[in-house]
Amino acid sequence: MVQEKVIVVDFGGQYNQLVARRVRECNVFCEIYSYRTDLEQIKAMNPKGIILTGGPNSCIEKDAPTYQRELFELGIPVLGLCYGAQLMQHILGGKVENAPVSEYGKTEVIVKKTSPLFADVSEKTICWMSHFDYISQVAPGFEITAHTADCPVAAAENKEKGLYVIQFHPEVLHTPEGTKMIYNFVRNVCGCAGTWRMDSFVENSIKEIRQKVGDGKVLCALSGGVDSSVAAVMLAKAIGKQLTCVFVDHGLLRKNEGDEVEAVFGSEGQYDLNFIRINAQERYYNKLADVTEPEEKRKIIGEEFIRVFEEEAKKIGTVDFLVQGTIYPDVVESGLGGESAVIKSHHNVGGLPEYVDFKEIIEPLRDLFKDEVRKAGLEMGIPEYLVFRQPFPGPGLGIRIIGEVTAEKVRIVQDADAIYREEIANAGLDRSIGQYFAALTNMRSVGVMGDERTYDYAVALRAVNTIDFMTAESAEIPWEVLQKVMGRIINEVKGVNRVMYDLTSKPPGTIEFE
């Protein structure tokens, strides 16, 4: 059966992945494409629906991102959000102008419940507005279906042609009934059956891997994190001993993590695969000596990661495929999806040197968001303590240490992080916080310990709540928990005399430190 799909056409909106995530919550597969994607390519995908994202531009300005009018004549339902709404109206003959009153933040919207988009939505509902232009006159054939005190066209539709526009952002949590609106579009307007489910995804992925690999040999980049662990188990279920998992202990893992990974996937573990552990700590520390720039550190770690695998592959013999635990946010944040700027380079995504000696890369989780990866893991019977392990970046502690990476700094952040995670778990908060970890700043300051002055490092504690890891807010950890963590770190971790808590949201910050 051909998988039904809704596509998101991205005009540079900061919430593009949230849109895709909300569609998937409706059990409908969704992917993001740039507005530069050719119309013929979109037609070839045969989508059940198309969603146009917001964006930072004004559609009435010269050289603003746009699209062909024919997009709206394909007979495929189209939903325009914010910039996408204004652009649709502009192209189809409506009028877009600078708004006399810009709207930002939570706003009461009055909707017409007769609209298919607003079925089961309150007549007065709170929505998240963010616009300086507005639709002053709808295009021919459109009916206004929502308004606010300052925005005469908060939503409009041409029901006959399946064209809908919404001036606000239904995809963000600040629009409490936004998920209903997206559900109404993809399931009711587009007629999607909602067959995108994790049990069928896992079953189909295992079949596809088995067919693709044949009798070939596969090398898996196993870090021990959630993503690579789920990918490894999926491959093991598909091809068994044809899979060799190489675990590189680059000295940038969390405390005792190397031994924990070996215990799970090694010869005493429960999975039918070949496991090799490489202790490459000194090799990495030497490569990273005197390097302080974050992107350069990432690239060095990623390059060395590939070199280690290349060397190991030659020892093993012919290796046909390399498996990586790439997930969808990695793809988009690395500049390979939609219109997003490059937020980070990542050793799991693209950019492999031409002389890497593998026929092909297999990325079985490339289409999944983090929570979907966890669902896939549970579906395959992976223990919960592994599935719900704290996310860990490919470059490891190399990007949780500001400035130069040394063995001493790694020890400090490992010990501080272990204490932090232990106390979060003791407080019963480990499942309610999206991600939490300790990072080592490059700041040293004067302190007093006992009767002596110290000049030591400051540790920063990070904890965020997030659904999709694309946006995040700092978590409100009880004061007594933070005080206990601070006391233990300063008393137990040599080289630290100050502990800080990071309140920054994403955006403007990132979840990781570098």
Residues with catalytic function: 82, 169, 171
Per the CB < 8 A criterion, the answer to whether 185 and 169 are in contact is no
Q: What is the spatial distance between Cα 352 and Cα 130, in angstroms, rounded to a whole number?
A: 39
Structure tokens at 7: 């596509």
Q: Which of 49, 47, 149, 133 is nearest to 90 (CA)?
A: 133
Q: What is the spatial distance between Cα 255 and Cα 419, in angstroms, rounded to a whole number?
A: 10
Per the CB < 8 A criterion, the answer to whether 319 and 332 are in contact is no
Instruction: Calculate helix-pair angle for 226-239, 198-213, nearest 10 degrees.
Output: 60
Which is it for strands 274-279 and 243-249: parallel, antiparallel or unpaired? parallel
Q: Which of 455, 462, 421, 456 is nearest to 439 (CA)?
A: 462
Q: Which of 261, 248, 354 is nearest to 311 (CA)?
A: 248
Amino acid at 303: E
Residue with tokens 């950019």: 351
Which is it for strands 155-158 and 163-166: parallel, antiparallel or unpaired? antiparallel
Per the CB < 8 A criterion, the answer to whether 398 and 298 are in contact is yes
Q: What is the spatial distance between Cα 338 and Cα 285, in angstroms, rounded to a whole number?
A: 36
Sequence-separated (6 or more) residues with CB below 8 Å from residue 55:
10, 11, 12, 13, 65, 82, 83, 84, 339
Phi-psi map region of 428: left, alpha, beta (phi>0 left; psi -120 to 50 alpha): left
Q: Which of 479, 402, 483 is nearest to 441 (CA)?
A: 402
